[in-house]
Amino acid sequence: MRFCNLSREYLKEGYTQIDNVFLLEYLPEADPVYVKVYLYGLFLANSAADYDNNINTMSVALRIDEEKILEAFNYWQEKGIVSIENDNPPYEILYNSVKMPLTKAIRYEVREFDAFTSEVYRLWPNINFNASQLEQLFEFISSKKIEPSAVILIMTYYEKQKGKLSFSGILAMAQNFVSLGLLTTADLSAHLDQLDAKVDKVEEVFKPFSKNKSSEYENRELFLRWTKTLGFPVESLEIVRDECSRKGGKTRFIALMEELYEAKAISPVDVKQYIATENEKIALAKKINEILSVFIRWENTVRFYINPWLNLGFDGDAIELIAQFCLTRSIKDLNRMDELVQRFHQKGLLTKEIIADYMLREKQRDAHILEILSLTSGGAMTSFISKSDRDLYRTFINWGFDHDAILAAAHFAIGKAFPMSYLSNRLATLKDQGIFDPEGITAFLSDKDSTKTKSTSYNDDVLGGLTKEQIQSTIIDLENLDIDKLDV
């Protein structure tokens, strides 16, 4: 007898490889060892040889003991994609179609649910659940270990809330109760009594929002979760309700309650403070978007920019001032503004006052740069300052020149094709000469201009007396030249 075999359904579909249904629906949630057993068993089932198609072969190949293998096949039997035809040696495993698994409901004895089925048809003689749907209910009852009478109670409550039965709706409601640990009729009855006892308060809390029959149960469950499970006082709910009735509606109401719980803002005082802070963030985000002329949702501005900036220690006034500063630097992008914010943070510039002082110094520096640009261009007015201009001016200051000294040198760059480059060259020479005062600069550069340095031309008068070998010996390999070692 073969240890693993294919069912007729599996053979009929012609699969000798792994079905995508198994990969998508069964593999992700299964124990890796169980997956190995299933796959190797499938291999054995497709194998023509009988002599090595047994549990011992699998145990040796997978290095898994037989007890674990049987545990795995019991798991897959629970899923309905294999059947253990013989649970004593020699074991026999039948692989079922993964597209049409043999569910647990099919294997149940019908008499096991006779009482449940009879009660369902007694209460709802005209119920239109088909056999497959009833089997799914049997499966749900058995797998979740919920009392059948509790399911009857859920169906009754569902009909009361919705007006009519819906199989998918009942199953969803039952799943919700199971997630709350309500598996017995007694526990479920107590929970439903709590829901019904809060009807007036629930209606008051959800009064501003659209109401229909199907929303009553959801509202009660939400109310019970917020007040009982999460610990919110009703007054906190009313504060959030009033806020969301003005904007956001019920969807925002539900989301904001979860935000408050995550932020540990439970009491009315904390809830008011949280909402006020959030509204300030929203107003700031809208203002920043307007200043930079960016068109993205303010919620994203708050989430990805405002919140991180506030966490760095900036306040709203400082952030707005930085946005204004961005305009002076032609920055109209939140990512580039973020880079500027990070630089301010690195420099320790976090408050409005400190940032304003920095901006004033930058404004004064820009005025000095414009004065130099205007001078070197022959008096032409200009308002544009490039990043290169700012970098050069900062370099000149770092070299030790003050503005008057730079301005003195700038007079000699008038009319030059690239005045800022020329100015940089002249100031580098002055730095090397140790001349930093305006008078000394003027005297040095005036003398420089008046003295015409004769350029040496390497013509025949110079090289005529040298041999070819002597000329070549004077050539320096520039790639190997170390300027630090040259005597200049």
- 32 preceded by a cis bond (ω within 30 of 0): no
**How far apart (Å, rounded) are the C-alpha atoms in residues 372 and 369?**
5
Backbone angles phi, psi at 83, to 5 degrees: -130, 135
Count of alpha carbons within 13 angstroms of residue 291, beta-carbon side? 22
What tokens were used for 114? 């006779």
Q: What is the mean pLDDT of residues 98-123?
A: 69
Domains in the chain, CATH or no CATH each: 4-102 (1.10.10.10), 108-235 (no CATH), 275-350 (no CATH), 380-450 (no CATH)
Residue with tokens 């309700």: 241
- CA 309 – CA 73 distance, rounded (Å): 55
Query: pLDDT tens across 412-458, in order?
Result: 988 888 888 889 999 999 999 999 999 999 999 888 766 644 444 44
How much of the chain, in percent, has pLDDT values that exceed 70? 83
Amino acid found at 197: A
Taking residue 478's Cβ as centre, other Cβ atoms within 10 Å add up to 6
Q: Which of 110-114, 242-246, 298-302, 321-325 is predicted with the least confidence, judged by mean pLDDT?
A: 110-114
* Cβ atoms of 99 and 21 closer than 8 Å: yes
- Mean per-residue pLDDT for 467-477? 52
Instruction: Give residues with Cβ within 8 angstroms of 324, minimum separation 6.
Output: 291
84: β partners: 93
pLDDT of residue 152: 92
Q: Is the separation of the CB atoms in 102 and 80 below 8 Å?
A: yes
Distance CA 260, CA 481 (A): 68
Q: How many residues does the chain have?
A: 488
For position 321, what pLDDT does the model report?
Answer: 92
Tokens of 445: 């550069």
Is residue 298's pLDDT more than 90? no
Q: Residue 14 above 80 pLDDT?
A: no
> Tokens at residue 95, please?
């692989």
Could you give the CA distance from residue 380 to residue 27 in angstroms, rounded to a whole number? 75
Provide the pairing of β-strand 4-6 with 92-95.
parallel
Q: How does pLDDT run across 360-411, given as a tens digit for each residue? A: 888 888 889 998 888 888 766 666 788 888 889 999 999 999 999 999 999 8
What value does the mean pLDDT of the chain take? 82
Q: Using alpha carbons only, what angle is made at residue 178 by residues 138 and 187, rounded to the nearest 5 degrees?
A: 105
* Nearest by Cα to 242 from 276, 212, 211, 265: 276
Q: How far apart (Å, rounded) are the C-alpha atoms in residues 280 and 309?
A: 14
What confidence category does residue 11 fall into, taking pLDDT thresholds of 50, 70 and 90?
A: very low
Q: What is the DSSP string of 288-316?
A: HHHHHT--S-HHHHIIIIIHHHHHHT--H
Alpha-carbon distance 389 to 331, whole Å? 17
Q: What is the arithmetic mean of pLDDT over 338-353? A: 92
Sign of the dihedral defined by the CA atoms of residues 361, 362, 365, 367, in that order: negative
Residue 364, CA atoms < 13 Å, CB-side half-sphere: 7
Supply the DSSP string of 121-150, one letter for each residue: HHH-TT----HHHHHHHHHHHHHHT--HHH
Burial of 135 (0-12, 13-18, 19+ CB in 10 A): middle
Distances (CA, A) of 21 to 44, 177, 210, 368, 385: 20, 29, 41, 72, 64
8 Å CB contact between 319 and 284? yes
Q: Which of 23, 22, 28 is nearest to 82 (CA)?
A: 22
User: Residue 347 carries which DSSP code?
Assistant: T
